[in-house]
Amino acid sequence: MRIAIPLFDRFTALDAVGPYEVLKFLPDVEIVFVAAASGPIRDVPKWLAITADATFAEVDSCDVLLVPGGPGSRQLLDNRPLLDWIGRMHEGSSWTTSVCTGSLLLAAAGLLEGRSATTHWGAVDVLESFGAIYTAERVVFNGKIVTAAGVSSGIDMALALVARIADQTTAEAVQLAIEYDPQPPFDAGSPAKASQAAKDLLTRGIR
């Protein structure tokens, strides 16, 4: 089973690494990081790099497509080479997935029109501008397309996907292996729960 994860400048690291850490446990799996050019691709704020070992031209099919998000995704919504590649991968994939604003790239590629999907809460308007139907859920399955909400939800999505590709016991074993037992110290993980002070700080910019 080949899992392809496209990378681009200013992607969000956890969008890619979270699901990778889960999906790597699948049997007979090959995970390939892909980009326009091979080599290190920098995240936000360019402190971490993941190496792309293959270019889009070198990967012509996959079983699972996993598109991460990040601020850089918004600059790629009219990047035809990337969007066309996503479309080609989707044609032959068993599963086409996204995390966070990676769903904007799926939408820009024409895959989400009229479909329910989720994304980071700050990108709902962009998602809907492509004809997708925003659903405020952490993980949304719509046929073979699976979208996850913001950043950390990619882990949830990957575990749910393992349960479908393998079985629930395997997914539970993977969850145990990574000791994924969320107990957040604050109940501020969504706009509905966060304090106004936290929202204001985020709007001004934490960094």
List residues with catalytic annotation: 100
Beta-sheet strand order (sheet of 64-67): 54-55, 30-35, 2-6, 64-67, 95-99, 145-148, 139-142
Q: ω into residue 6 within 30 of 0, thus cis?
A: no
Residue 206, beta-bridge partner list: none
Q: SS3 of 141, please?
A: strand
Find, among 20, 56, 26, the residue nearest to 38 by Cα: 56
